[in-house]
């Protein structure tokens, strides 16, 4: 999904249910929340909504026990990480994203 058209309450209800399901199904798993990346063409309202969803996701996941979160340092202001559509990451952006995600996984496997 490249937009946040669903009302926040509905998004939060879905997220809460899914996170609880994952925790119940795999109580020993380490849940890692990865922030949603901003998309090109979003207005301030969309960006504020994305930030609220990310904050909610981090808080919900961290409240479940074994968990962590990762905030990719990628924004649409960065030159060179997105394809021309400013929605999808290009090869460099994907490598940067996957390297960061790999690091947060490694960090949590060591604990």
Residue-level pLDDT, tens digit, the chain, 111 residues: 455 788 999 999 999 999 999 999 999 999 999 999 988 888 899 999 999 999 999 999 999 999 999 999 988 876 789 999 888 999 999 999 999 999 999 999 976
Q: How far apart are CA 96 and CA 9, in angstroms?
A: 32
Q: How far apart are CA 52 and CA 68, in angstroms?
A: 17
Enter the tokens of residue 43. Answer: 């207005």
Domain boundaries, the chain: 8-110
Confidence (pLDDT) at 111: 63
Give this prediction's pTM: 0.88
Right CATH for 8-110 from 2.30.30.280, 3.40.50.300, 3.40.50.1110, 3.30.830.10:
3.40.50.1110
Confidence (pLDDT) at 77: 77
């Amino acid at each position: 999904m490249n937009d946040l058209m669903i009302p926040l309450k509905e998004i939060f209800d879905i997220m809460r249910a899914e996170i609880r399901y994952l925790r119940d199904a795999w109580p020993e798993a380490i849940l890692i929340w990865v922030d949603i990346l901003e998309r090109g063409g979003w207005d301030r309202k969309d960006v504020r909504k994305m930030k609220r969803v990310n904050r909610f996701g981090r808080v919900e996941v961290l409240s479940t026990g074994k968990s962590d979160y990762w905030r990719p340092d990628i924004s649409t202001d960065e030159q060179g990480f997105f394809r021309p559509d400013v929605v999808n990451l290009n090869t460099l952006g994907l490598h940067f994203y996957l390297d960061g995600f790999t690091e947060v996984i490694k960090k949590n496997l060591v604990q």
